[in-house]
Amino acid sequence: MTRLSGGLIDRNRSLNFTFDGKSYTGHAGDTLASALLANDVRLMGRGFKYHRPRGVFTAGSEEPNALVELRAGNRQEPNTRATVAELFEGLDARSQNHVGSLGFDLLAVNDLMSPFFAAGFYYKTFMWPKAFWEKLYEPMIRRAAGLGSLSMQADPDSYDAGFLHCDLLVIGGGAAGLAAALTAARTGARVILADEDFRLGGRLLAESAPLDRPAAEWIAEVEAEFASLPNLRVMRRTTVWGAFDHGIYGAVERVSDHLPTPGKRVRQSLWRITAKRAILAAGATERHIPFANNDRPGVMMAGAMRAYANRWAVSPAKRVAIFTNNDDGHRTAADLAAKGVEIAAVVDSRPDAPARGSYRTIAGGMVTDSKGRLGLAKVEVTQNGRAEWIDCGALGVSGGWNPNLHIASHHRGRPVWNEAAQAFLAEDGNVAGLSIAGAAAGKGSTAQALASGAQAAVAALADIGISAHLPDLPRAEDEALNLKPLWHVPGKGRAWVDFQNDVTVKDVKLAYVENLRPVEHLKRWTTLGMATDQGKTSNVTAIAVMAELTGQSINQTGTTIFRPPYTPVSMSVLGGGDTGAHFRPRRLTPTHEWAKSQGAVFVEVGQWMRAQYFPRKGETEWRQTVDREVLATRAGVGICDVTTLGKVDVQGADAGEFLDRVYANAMKSLKVGMVRYGLMLREDGFAWDDGTCARLAEDQYVVTTTTANAGTIYKHMEFCRQCLWPELDVQLISTTDAWAQMSVAGPHARKLLERVVDGFDISNEGFPFMACANLTVCGGLRARLFRISFSGELAYEIAVPARYGNALMARMLQVGADLGATPYGTETLGVLRIEKGHAAGNELNGQTTAQMLGMGKMVSTKKDSIGAVLSRREGMVADRRVLVGFQPVNAADPVMAGAHLFAEGAAQDTANDQGWITSACYSPHVGSAIGLGYLVNGDSRKGEVVVAANPLQGQSVRVRVVSAHFVDPEGGRVRD
């Protein structure tokens, strides 16, 4: 087929492309679908179930048939609708879902088997023999199902996400949308006009004479004015895909999909648009009329046929027929005839069909069958019981129009059937702040659309206190459809309702017979409307057929609910570019640069990157490094960045009282200059978090939390302060990131610190265990010193303003070189604390009680504190599992965290389970693996041998129950 005259393509720019490996040429302004039609390609795909030949059915984003794999390699994009794929030089597309060539699909044998594939057949069979489902039937079904394929390579393109705000969002750039945007933007209000097409105008582009002047001319004028209005943002190639709460709309802008590759730009952008008001002017989707064998390439919507002729200057055939139940079908006939296409006939089901032109009109007729192997060759027309075959290469079908009200029902407001409009309509306000205009509101003539768009804008702006005036709009056609409903052509052959999921009228009837009549059952039983077009071209028709069967009205039959997105949205753009290493931000500790320079290995700890260990030359295994760090710390002095522990500064006259209520143990009684270990419970009585609480002044405490709970505990403390006890004089601030804090541990810790502290007495007498102070270091740098120990060694934590972290670390290692000062990371930190029997995340996992931790007595009964009351519940008191240590009987045996504990000889099942190993490591101090864990009555079972069973890894190890304190159980070292 050669091109017709006219159209909005740029004939001076030719673009080469390939489809199924064959080269073709189209023009700028073409879509893949229009370019293929211009090259006489009608066969574009295969049906889902029966693999029948399929061609393009629509000219828009509702396309059910012409789905292709676009691009190649890691940019391969399955299920792309050829009707919205903008042509570009070098475009490469392939048909999908066939075995063998598109023209000779081996799976087309399914069509012969179609009687066996009726709705729901798979629920009734494939059950015997039992094992065959997973081994044979299901793999077969999976291979046959699906449409296009992914390359399974990472998407190479970039994406981003952004926020936009406006007074008015206009969704759709057709007649109604343009009028609305023009009206609103002239007031100076902030307006966004978003349209899914690459060219503004909507149906104005598809009609021959919608206005009293050339439509393209008027659109150009409007666009020129738009360009002069800085308060208006026109977003072409942008689909608003979802309405969310409080005026938030999701939109995707296809920035580079019309280019061979995005180059330096992003491929697509995700926008979150917050709009005070919005107008839905998304137009309408034509509906078809099912008849036998209505799925051949060449059968398409009449409105689409007209759009191809008027906008893209192409006809799917030289001789076409029309099947309509309303006046709109005649428009297609007239437009195509005017462009020299032969009109074989207009089959109008209305007995009183008007004779509109010079073409043959068959009033009261219906198309009852079709023929043509890979494309339409002829249609059977029946009029008054008399059938005749009419040759035609294409058939335009017009059954009326369904308003595109999808977004207006995203908040679950159900559309209501309107008898006069013969369509489901949604109400303004179904989505708060959203009104509907134009064909989306059932106002389908161009004149109605223009007027309603402008009026909707005036009303929406008035709502937010902006006064707007109706603009002068061009005079436009204002014809009624005069539709007489015809929902399907009666007959015996298969008549498709949902093309993409291969649902026929027969399937709807079967669902009726089998009593799956509610619309949701119909949908789920037949899979109607569940394909990539979400039923845009099929749902209403199926509902009407079901209504006819049940004798209920369409309104009683009801409708399914439209869900976002309006049209499918790529996963990549929804991710917005926060992918790969950028998935979440990285928090770096104040000694990160220093640690990096020392060759540290880092590990992800929540959002933090922490030094895990510091390998030295010659160390080939991480264990060598960690053992060295542990021994160096216990023998000399080790330094570790512990900044990530949460820090909350608590100030005010009632700070002590406040902390008394937050901690299970008492804090008010703590003396200034001293630190106390603190245990926090959740209000449900379980252990939540632990840390230290240092009293720096009468009215100032600094408390620490675990790394994992830093944010949560701060939030909880603010809850206590603001929501429970606002009368207390207390203020909180999180200072986790403000202070670089380092643990200095080991017998030489004091000696080292004496070399950095400025004239402050840190002797054992002057600064005993659990002392704290504000002081200065390194000649005047303000610092905080805490004498606390996580390792069981003489230890301190020293804090300086975060920006001095790298410097202080370097200085301490420098001045401590002769003392063996050794940096250590989180692995050694873990070993040191396990050796000392200190609980950490694995023990404080939210399921354990103070009693299990051996800290039951810390929960004061003399005061009310968070969690105290519920910690005394029967079941919690009855839980006799207690934290103890474990050592393998055979020193060479492994101890694994996650092994469960059983009495020797007991059957290893749920009933006999006595606890589990929480943490384990190799202890260079002990000389074997060791573990901590909860064991029933563990505190009275020291010396007993139990089994640590880890069948998951085929291990079962005899372990001896020991004290959790492997190092210095008397606690002398920390006090030296």
Considering only residues 471-530, where is the footprint of another protein by CB under 8 A? 506, 510, 513-516, 518, 520-521, 524-525, 527
Point out which span in 2-10, 547-555, 566-574, 782-790 binds another protein (CB under 8 A): 566-574
For the segment 374-393, give every residue that binds another protein (CB under 8 A).
none
Residue 668 Cβ, how far from another protein at the closest point, in Å? 16
Q: Is 27 in the site for another protein (CB under 8 A)?
A: no
For the segment 338-377, give every residue that binds another protein (CB under 8 A).
none
For the segment 57-76, give every residue that binds another protein (CB under 8 A).
75-76
What's at 837, amino acid-wise? G
> What span, in angstroms and rounded, lies between the C-alpha atoms of 95 and 105?
11
- Grouping H, G, I as helix, E, B as strand and the rest as coil, residue 474 is coil
Q: What distances in angstroms separate CA 3 from CA 35, 107, 175, one per listed residue?
A: 10, 34, 27
Residue 898 Cβ, how far from another protein at the closest point, in Å? 2
For the segment 885-904, give every residue that binds another protein (CB under 8 A).
896-900
Q: Residues 114, 50: contact at Cβ < 8 Å? A: yes
What's at 797, amino acid-wise? E
Name which position in 356, 587, 682, 751 contacts another protein (CB under 8 A).
Answer: 682
Site mask, another protein, residues 187-226, x = CB under 8 A?
----------------------------------------
Q: Residues 234, 226: contact at Cβ < 8 Å? A: yes
- Grouping H, G, I as helix, E, B as strand and the rest as coil, residue 872 is helix
Run of H or E residues at 603 = strand 601-605
Residue 254 Cβ, how far from another protein at the closest point, in Å? 12
Q: Is 552 in the site for another protein (CB under 8 A)?
A: no
What's at 31, amino acid-wise? T
- The DSSP code for 13 is E
For the segment 39-58, give every residue that binds another protein (CB under 8 A).
48
Closer residue to another protein (CB): 26 or 148: 148
Q: Residues 902, 923: contact at Cβ < 8 Å? A: no
Closer residue to another protein (CB): 327 or 428: 428
The two tokens of residue 810 are 């370097």
Q: Is 88 in the site for another protein (CB under 8 A)?
A: no
For the segment 712-741, give every residue that binds another protein (CB under 8 A).
715, 718-719, 722-724, 726-727
Residue 282 Cβ, how far from another protein at the closest point, in Å? 18
Q: Residues 45, 66: contact at Cβ < 8 Å? A: yes
Name which position in 493, 568, 652, 673 contacts another protein (CB under 8 A).
Answer: 568
Residue 784 Cβ, how far from another protein at the closest point, in Å? 23
Closer residue to another protein (CB): 149 or 764: 149
Q: Is 246 in the site for another protein (CB under 8 A)?
A: yes
Name which position in 51, 52, 98, 410 contacts another protein (CB under 8 A).
Answer: 410
For the segment 601-660, give every residue that binds another protein (CB under 8 A).
603-605
Name which position in 30, 62, 63, 77 contacts another protein (CB under 8 A).
Answer: 77
> What span, in angstroms and rounded, lies between the C-alpha atoms of 747 and 764?
12
Residue 16 Cβ, how far from another protein at the closest point, in Å? 23
> What span, in angstroms and rounded, lies between the C-alpha atoms of 95 and 297?
14
For the segment 570-589, give every residue that binds another protein (CB under 8 A).
570-572, 574-576, 578-584, 586
**Environment class of 246 (CB within 10 Å of its CB; exposed 0-12, middle 13-18, buried 19+):** exposed
Name which position in 200, 366, 531, 546 contacts another protein (CB under 8 A).
Answer: 531
The two tokens of residue 23 are 């080269």
Q: Is 841 in the site for another protein (CB under 8 A)?
A: yes
> What span, in angstroms and rounded, lies between the C-alpha atoms of 446 and 448?
5
Taking each helix axis from N to C terminus, what angle separates 302-312 and 328-338, rounded to the nearest 10 degrees?
A: 30
Closer residue to another protein (CB): 145 or 355: 145
What's at 101, amino acid-wise? S
Q: Is 20 in the site for another protein (CB under 8 A)?
A: no
Point out which span in 149-157, 223-231, 254-262, 465-473 binds another protein (CB under 8 A): 149-157
Q: Is 958 in the site for another protein (CB under 8 A)?
A: no
Contacts of 44 (CB under 8 A, 6+ apart): 33, 36, 54, 55, 56, 65, 66, 68, 82, 95, 297
Contacts of 881 (CB under 8 A, 6+ apart): 852, 914, 915, 934, 935, 936, 938
Long-range contacts of 878-882 (CB under 8 A, 24+ apart): 879/849, 879/851, 879/852, 880/936, 880/937, 881/852, 881/914, 881/915, 881/934, 881/935, 881/936, 881/938, 882/851, 882/852, 882/854, 882/934, 882/935, 882/936, 882/937, 882/938, 882/939
Q: Is 14 in the site for another protein (CB under 8 A)?
A: no
Site mask, another protein, residues 266-295, x = CB under 8 A?
----x-x-x---------------------
Q: Is 705 in the site for another protein (CB under 8 A)?
A: no
Contacts of 585 (CB under 8 A, 6+ apart): 607
Point out which span in 39-47, 481-489, 695-703, 867-875 binds another protein (CB under 8 A): 867-875
Closer residue to another protein (CB): 772 or 964: 964
Long-range contacts of 717-724 (CB under 8 A, 24+ apart): 717/648, 717/650, 717/662, 720/658, 720/661, 720/662, 720/866, 721/658, 724/661
For the segment 902-931, give every residue that binds another protein (CB under 8 A).
908-910, 913, 916, 918-919
Q: Is 791 in the site for another protein (CB under 8 A)?
A: no
Based on its alpha-carbon atoms, the radius of gyration of the chain, rounded to whole angstroms, reads 38
Closer residue to another protein (CB): 499 or 686: 686
> What span, in angstroms and rounded, lies between the C-alpha atoms of 728 and 726?
5
Q: Residues 708, 841: contact at Cβ < 8 Å? A: yes
Q: Is 141 in the site for another protein (CB under 8 A)?
A: yes
Residues in contact with another protein, counted by CB under 8 A, come to a total of 137
Contacts of 781 (CB under 8 A, 6+ apart): 800, 801, 804, 808
Name which position in 247, 399, 474, 590 contacts another protein (CB under 8 A).
Answer: 247
> What span, in angstroms and rounded, lies between the C-alpha atoms of 799 and 179?
64
Point out which span in 128-136, 187-195, 589-597, 637-645 binds another protein (CB under 8 A): 128-136
Name which position in 6, 40, 151, 776 contacts another protein (CB under 8 A).
Answer: 151
Q: Is 258 in the site for another protein (CB under 8 A)?
A: no
Closer residue to another protein (CB): 337 or 540: 540
Residue 293 Cβ, how far from another protein at the closest point, in Å? 18
Name which position in 112, 152, 420, 892 contacts another protein (CB under 8 A).
Answer: 152
> What span, in angstroms and rounded, lies between the C-alpha atoms of 145 and 604?
40
Distance from CA of residue 444 to its chain's centroid? 35
Parallel/antiparallel/unpaired status of strands 700-705 and 687-697: antiparallel
> What span, in angstroms and rounded, lies between the C-alpha atoms of 869 and 881?
20
Point out which span in 305-313, 462-470, 684-692, 785-793 binds another protein (CB under 8 A): 684-692
Residue 875 phi/psi, 5-degree rounding, is -65, -30
Q: Is 698 in the site for another protein (CB under 8 A)?
A: no
Closer residue to another protein (CB): 355 or 869: 869
Q: Residues 436, 279: contact at Cβ < 8 Å? A: yes
Site mask, another protein, residues 416-455, x = CB under 8 A?
----------------x-----------------------
Residue 561 Cβ, how far from another protein at the closest point, in Å? 8
Name which position in 12, 23, 123, 472 contacts another protein (CB under 8 A).
Answer: 123
> What span, in angstroms and rounded, lies between the C-alpha atoms of 460 and 275?
11
Residue 829 Cβ, how far from another protein at the closest point, in Å? 13
Name which position in 89, 758, 864, 976 contacts another protein (CB under 8 A).
Answer: 864
